[in-house]
Amino acid sequence: MKIEDKNFGPDFKWGVSTAAYQVEGAWYSDGKGKSIWDVFSNTGGNTYKDQNANIACDFYRRYTHDIILMAKLGIPNFRFSLSWSRIIPNGTGKVNPIGIEFYNRVIDFCLEMGIEPWITLYHWDLPHELEKKGGWTNRDIIGWFGDYVALCIRYFGDRVKNWMILNEPMVYTGAGYFLGVHAPGRKGLNSFLAATHHSAMCQSEGGRIVRSLLNDAHIGTTFSCSYIEPFGQSINDGMAAFRVDALLNRLFVEPLAGLGYPVADLKLLQRLEPYIKDGDESKLAFNMDFIGVQNYTREMISHSHFTPLIWAKVIGADKRNVETTDMNWEVYPESMYEMLMKFGKYKNFKEIIVTENGAAFPDILADGKIHDEKRISYLDQYLKQVLRAKNAGVKVNGYFVWSLTDNFEWAEGYKPRFGLVYVDFETQERVIKDSGYWYSNFLTNC
């Protein structure tokens, strides 16, 4: 099947995504406060080769160049996040006017170049001063976050209509507050459960605040998701996969949809009860205009006697003799179709937008060019599955590639390269990859 832009319809939204901490740099400049990722990545042993994003892609100083590149490629929509600690250095209280002015310049230049800005309010870089008070485990964060959201709408809402509340809450709570492999590096079930409930409260409360202050806002939030299948044919493997799906794919979307936490299917969620106060359950729901689906792969699950509470383990792609990316994620395009079909069954949301999809592969710069055929194949195959879901009746109305440029990939450092544009992190030189030209040609092929 040959896919063209016109197959998706004239109103389909095409774009690219980035995140503040992964590209901006200027980590402690112009009044910015430290974030949990500033602290975590500057602490030895936490990231690949102890790398950090103190400079990253230097987007803070080079944003005009990158936005011009986007315009050159004909990409009409740009999803980026705001750094909470650049806007409010301590997380609460005094506002940093230089940070406000920076984002005003980014927004204004996007509009000048004919690019629609899509803002993510929280993409994992919590102000460190709030983490010192408990961060996402402290219920006060519902108020802290609400004040931050209101301030962002006040300063930017006159020009920005597309807002995403949280990015992948399952990842930052699980990796950051349970496993300790992401910032802030906490471990333990109680930290995870507290952070989970407070994040779920914030995703709906943030939506309500944006709606109350900006009547014509287009409001959403984003979810990480992987297609979950049992590794074997046994009943035990099937039940293990069912529990993992409840945890990874349903934990945050179902309370938002008014269904509550999937406690009946994952008993460990009964332990959320101490964190749920009177009236919370009704406040968890909010009718988002859209939900963002962020799918890259599938996971194969087997029963495990050695993993308490969930009794399951992931069988890594490297152990299954399948094609993988540099993240050791299986290349499995059908996962996109399956997840769009799954999320399309929730009736409370008007539409779905694929707010992230892409792949990290080794890139070799030769003669000023990068021939990244594997990335092109990946994007092509996954887009076919988006179209398949759309033709099956799913209201999927947008697709954003992760990412515009190579960037700092969290604990994996600079090794995985996801960008349509290559970045030499020593010189900050940008080189458009073949995949960038492919995407550009795709967008004009109608």
**Residue 4: active-site member:** no
Buried b (16+ CB within 10 A) or exposed e, 415-433: ebbbbbbbbeeeebebbbb
Phi, psi of 170 (to 5 degrees): -65, -35
Question: Cα separation of 400 and 423, whole Å?
Answer: 19
Half-sphere exposure of 153 (CA within 13 A, CB side): 25
Catalytic site residue from 168, 299, 330, 338: 168
Q: Decide: helix, strand or coil at residue 34.
A: coil
Q: How far, CA to CA in Å, does 204 sit from each of 73, 117, 356? A: 35, 22, 21
230: preceding bond cis by omega (within 30 degrees): no
Q: Which residues 6+ apart lie within 8 Å of 245 measured at CB?
A: 228
**Residue 229: active-site member:** no
Question: Cα separation of 396 and 351, whole Å?
Answer: 6
Phi, psi of 226 (to 5 degrees): -130, 140
Question: Cα separation of 16 and 118, whole Å?
Answer: 10
Question: Cα separation of 419 and 436, whole Å?
Answer: 8
What the block records as the tokens of 350 is 């008007």
Determine contact, residues 317/328, Cβ cutoff 8 Å: yes
Question: Cα separation of 25 and 51, whole Å?
Answer: 13
Catalytic site residue from 129, 131, 330, 356: 356
What the block records as the tokens of 171 is 């990842």
Question: Cα separation of 300 and 316, whole Å?
Answer: 7
- Active-site annotation, residues: 168, 356
